[in-house]
Amino acid sequence: MVQKLKDPVEEAVIKAERRIVDIVSQPIAIPVARELEKGIVIAQTRIHEIVNGQGKKVNAFLENAQNEKPGKRSDLIEKNVLLNQMYNDLDGGNEKPPTVFKNEAEAAQHSKEIYERFKKEKQNNLERALDTVISIFSSSGTTIKDDESQKIHKQVQNMLAKELVLVPKVTERLTSTPPILTVETIEFERVSDSGGQNNIDTNHIMIGQTTAHNEKFHRILHENLHYAAYLGGGYDYRWRNEQNEPAIRNNVIWFHEGLTELTTQDIARKNNIVPDKINYVTATITAYYIQQLGGKENTLKAYLTGDLTEVRSTINQKLGAGTLEQLLDLQPREALKILREKVDTAGIDRSKWDQSDLVQNAIVSNERLSKEREKSGNR
Ligand SMILES: [Zn+2]
């Protein structure tokens, strides 16, 4: 599960508004005004992008702009420059998070702040949709000491230093700002599949307490990987098309969860630990198909950096132009359905994939989950 702590939308809106006030209150020469105007456009586009999640509006604009009258061409060029700029900004990933905790005690203090913030939000009743999440967070949250989890966390960090060497900037950043783990009494699994949480823009990861050794490992590795991908730029999916034009689709959370869980399962199994279950089943199977089609190394690189250029090009060559873009715009269930159909239409034999350990275990995990839900009366 991914939890955003700061409110970037609000921050960006305030910044942009200040800038607009600045400009209208000052008599300035035209070139300077144009420059500032561009700054506002950038800020507004960023806000737009954050609000709409996927930068879809910018892409849609670029597509439509091709049919625009000549007078709008300069606008198109400006947007292209803007998109390129945004693309390049995202490309570097995050050298380190804005908030860095040095040790467990500092991170535990942060947990406390999170619980208090959720309590306040519940009182204000700001986000009705988040009510379930909030009640779970504010009910019984406490950080507990768990030496076994901390030991596993160390073991996972050593493992990742070897398993992620394909993207050196990620392993370097993991070493210079390692994630700090805390174990919490709250049941994350009631609101997310993974039983843990990665607090974006910090190096603080959390898991819910559990006594099962395998499940501890599973949760800790999963949240460690979210953090590794955050450092590499993996939260912002983007690619360059055949004409080298940039496209951005960030915040496709289900795809990110699927790739996180797939990578978790791959690394765990490679190190002789088979997790008892598979999280985000549909998203993970979809990610697995993508990995089979796009190649293991390229998919891992894409997961850690967010750069889908190579994976997209391979998949679209095999399954038809626009396939990967289409999948990212769908919800996981629909995406998997379309992906299966396209694989079959292309005459690619997927029986081996479906017989794999991972897909078979995913099916078992799914059946167990539906039974549990039936029993508890949940949807
Ligand atoms: Zn997750």
| Nearest residue to 90 via CA among 260, 239, 205, 259 | 239
Write down which residue in 91, 121, 138 finishes a domain.
91
Task: Please state, as a whole number, how many other Cβ atoms lie within 10 Å of the Cβ of residue 1.
Answer: 21
> Into how many domains does the chain fold?
3
Q: Are residues 242 and 320 in the same domain?
A: yes
In a structure prediction context, what are the per-residue pLDDT tens digits for the chain, which is 379 residues long?
Answer: 555 444 555 565 556 556 555 544 544 455 455 555 555 555 555 555 554 443 444 445 445 544 555 445 455 556 677 788 888 888 889 999 999 999 999 999 999 888 887 777 665 554 444 444 555 555 567 899 999 999 999 999 999 999 999 999 999 999 999 999 999 988 776 666 778 888 888 999 999 988 899 999 999 999 999 999 999 999 989 999 998 888 988 778 899 999 999 999 999 999 999 998 899 999 999 999 999 999 999 999 999 999 999 999 999 999 999 999 999 999 999 999 999 999 999 999 999 999 999 999 888 877 777 777 666 544 3
Is residue 256 domain-shared with residue 283, that is, in the same domain? yes
Q: How far is the CA of 255 from the centre of ligand 1 (A)?
A: 10
C-alpha of residue 151 to centroid of ligand 1, in Å: 21
What is the per-residue pLDDT for 49? 52
* Whole-number pLDDT of residue 153: 98
Residues 120 and 193 in one domain: yes
Q: How many A from CA of 260 to the centre of ligand 1? A: 7
Give the model's pLDDT for residue 126.
47
**Cβ–Cβ < 8 Å for 260, 253:** no
Q: Which of 26, 61, 91 is the last residue of a domain?
A: 91
Separation in Å, CA 161 to CA 39, 172, 206, 374: 40, 9, 20, 41
Q: Give distance in angstroms: CA of 194 to centre of ligand 1.
A: 5
What's the CA-to-centroid distance between 264 and ligand 1, angstroms?
Answer: 10
CA of residue 352 to ligand 1 center, whole Å: 27
- DSSP H helices, the chain, are 8-24, 30-52, 56-65, 73-91, 104-124, 131-140, 147-163, 168-176, 213-232, 253-270, 281-294, 296-305, 309-319, 323-328, 332-345, 351-355, 357-376
pTM for this entry: 0.78
Question: Is 227 a domain residue?
Answer: no
Report d(CA 225, CA 246) in Å as an integer: 26
Cα angle for residues 211, 217, 223 (degrees, 5° grid): 115
Give the pLDDT confidence score for residue 245 in this predicted structure.
86
The closest of 23, 48, 56, 59 to 38, measured between CA atoms, is 23
Q: How far is the CA of 275 from the centre of ligand 1 (A)?
A: 15
CA of 289 to the centre of ligand 1 (A): 19
| DSSP-assigned beta bridge partners for residue 375 | none
How far does CA 356 lie from the centroid of its chain? 26
Q: How far is the CA of 196 from the centre of ligand 1 (A)?
A: 7
Q: How far is the CA of 4 from the centre of ligand 1 (A)?
A: 13
Cα 46 to Cα 49: distance, rounded to the nearest angstrom: 5
CA of 38 from ligand 1 middle (Å) equals: 37
Q: Is the same domain home to 242 and 332?
A: yes
Whether 211 maps to a domain, the answer reads no
Residues 335 and 279 in one domain: yes
The token pair that represents 86 in the structure block: 């945004």
Instruction: Taking the CA atoms of 158, 164, 165 and 167 in sequence, report the sign of the dihedral they define.
Output: negative
Residues 241 and 341 in one domain: yes
Q: Which amino acid is at 30?
A: I
- The answer to whether 197 touches 1, Cβ cutoff 8 Å, is yes
The alpha carbon of 41 and the centre of ligand 1 are apart by a number of angstroms equal to 33
Contact yes or no for 79/62 (Cβ under 8 A):
yes
Q: What pLDDT, on a 0 to 100 scale, did the predictor assign at position 142?
A: 87
Residues 122 and 58 in one domain: no
For the residues of 73-105, what is the DSSP string, one character each?
Answer: HHHHHHHHHHHHHHHHHHHT--SS-SB---SHH
Question: Does 139 fall in a domain?
Answer: yes
Q: Compute the distance between CA of residue 10 and CA of residue 217 in angstroms, rounded to an integer.
A: 36
Structural domain span for residue 74: 2-91
Q: How far is the CA of 279 from the centre of ligand 1 (A)?
A: 8
pLDDT confidence of residue 15:
60
| Assigned domain for 178 exists | yes
Does residue 163 sit within a domain? yes
Cα distance between residue 277 and residue 117, in whole Å: 32
Name the DSSP class of 141.
-
Q: What is the pLDDT of residue 77?
A: 58
What pLDDT sits at residue 176?
A: 97
Looking at residue 190, its pLDDT comes to 65
Cα of 372 to ligand 1 centre, how many Å?
Answer: 21
